[in-house]
Amino acid sequence: MARISPNRHRFPPIVIQYAFWLYFRFTLGLRDVEDMLAHRGVDVSYETVRA
């Protein structure tokens, strides 16, 4: 399986991994993930998490 390159992404890979982990581990909605990241100082919209 080919690895996904984070070069074109706005956020560091660790933030992207954390957003995916939140979304799938706790079956949260995208807006819930947005809120949880905002509490940790990451300014991201739910549409960015969706992409």
Question: Where do the structural domains in the chain lie, given as residue ranges?
Answer: 10-50
Task: Judge whether 39 and 21 are in contact, CB under 8 Å.
Answer: no
Task: Judge whether 23 and 49 are in contact, CB under 8 Å.
Answer: yes
The pLDDT, as a whole number, for residue 19 is 85
The model carries a pTM of 0.66
Judge residue 42's burial from the number of C-beta atoms within 10 Å of its C-beta, 0-12 exposed, 13-18 middle, 19 or more buried. middle
- Give helix 30-39 / helix 13-25 axis angle, nearest 10°: 130
Mean pLDDT of 2-16: 70
6 pLDDT higher than 60: no
The pLDDT, as a whole number, for residue 10 is 75
Mean pLDDT of 15-30: 85
